[in-house]
Structure 1
Amino acid sequence: MATSLKNLSDTAIQPIPNATGYKFGILVAEWNPEVTESMGKAAKETLLVHGVKPEDILYKYVPGSYELSLGAQYMAEYTDVDAIIVLGCVIQGETRHFDYVCKAVTEGTNEVSLKYNIPVGFGVLTTENQQQALDRAGGKHGNKGDEAAGAAIKMVALKHEINQKND
Structure 2
Amino acid sequence: MFDNLFSVLFTAAHFALLIGIYGLFIGVCWSPFLTAGRLRDLFAVLPPSGWRVNYVLWILLPALVWGFLFGGTLSVSLDVRPPTQASEIYVAGIDGIVVATLISLLLWPFLLLYVLPRSGLDWDPNEYAPKTIVLVVGSLIWYLAFLAGPAYILSIFAGFGDVMAGP
TM-score, normalisation: structure 2? 0.28
State the structure with more CA Rg.
Answer: 2
- Structure with more helix by fraction: 2
